[in-house]
């Protein structure tokens, strides 16, 4: 949270973006409700609801925080898979078939584990997508990375590109 949003540091993620790019990003409230993992864990739909449930917080953690840059929620990963898995398959069971339908997993960080925003309900540690495709809670060490997430302001337009690696989206500010 602090490094991504560059709170007072010059080497943080947000500070590395141009001023024009920084001004395109909407400051938002990020929810920190817990998900359940393991064999009795959440499906994508129940994870989405739990992430936004302020009564579902690990003791001592905050329910929300405000900033421009966050991390992907476990439900975002779940929603990247085929819709048929959203209510029927627990995120903990997202491997082989379910993960193979996910655009997010297909582009995973060199098959390394990645952090999510939502903390574990059982421990004070992180939740991650594992290199095999399932979601679980674990210690925050030995992970391959994060994928910064942001919300663009409503006056930002796609002015070019198709969103591929070869032709990324080009953004511009709508002139009123």
Model pTM above 0.75: yes
Share of the chain above pLDDT 70, in %: 81
Question: Could you give the CA distance from residue 107 to residue 2 in angstroms, rounded to a whole number?
Answer: 26
Taking CA atoms, 150 is separated from 91, 125, 147, in Å, by: 23, 23, 10
pLDDT, mean of residues 129-156: 76
Q: Are strands 114-115 and 70-71 parallel, antiparallel or unpaired?
A: unpaired
Q: What is the mean pLDDT of residues 67-75?
A: 90
Q: Where are the domains of the chain?
A: 2-173
Q: Return the biggest CA–CA distance within the chain.
A: 52
Distance, CA of 133 to CA of 90 (rounded, Å): 12
Mean pLDDT of 98-124: 69
Task: State how far the Cα of 11 lies from the Cα of 141, in Å rounded to an integer.
Answer: 21
Report helix, strand and coil shares of the chain as percent, to nearest 5: 25, 20, 55
23-65 tens-digit pLDDT = 999 999 999 888 777 777 889 999 899 888 888 777 777 889 9
Average pLDDT value for residue range 118-147: 67
Q: In DSSP terms, which residues pair with 173 in a beta bridge?
A: 156
Please tell me the distance from the alpha carbon of residue 131 to that of residue 117, in angstroms, as a whole number.
17
Encoding tokens for residue 99? 């993960």
Mean pLDDT over the full length of the chain: 81
| Phi, psi at 157, each rounded to 5° | -115, 150
């Amino acid at each position: 949270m602090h490094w991504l949003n560059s709170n007072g540091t010059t080497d943080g993620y947000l500070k590395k973006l141009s001023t024009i790019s920084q001004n395109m990003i909407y400051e938002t409230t990020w929810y920190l409700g817990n998900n359940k993992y393991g064999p009795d864990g959440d499906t994508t739909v129940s994870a989405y609801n739990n992430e936004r449930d302020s009564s579902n917080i690990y003791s001592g953690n905050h329910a929300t925080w405000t900033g421009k840059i966050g991390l992907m929620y476990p439900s975002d990963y779940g929603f990247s898979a085929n819709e048929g898995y959203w209510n029927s398959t627990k995120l903990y069971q997202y491997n082989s078939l379910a993960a193979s339908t996910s655009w997010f997993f297909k582009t995973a960080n060199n098959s390394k584990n990645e952090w999510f925003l939502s903390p574990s309900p059982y421990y004070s540690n992180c939740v991650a997508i594992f290199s095999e495709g399932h979601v679980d809670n674990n210690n925050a060490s030995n992970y391959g990375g994060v994928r910064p997430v942001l919300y663009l302001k409503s006056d930002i337009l796609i002015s070019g590109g198709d969103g591929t690696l070869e032709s990324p989206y080009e953004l511009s500010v709508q002139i009123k």
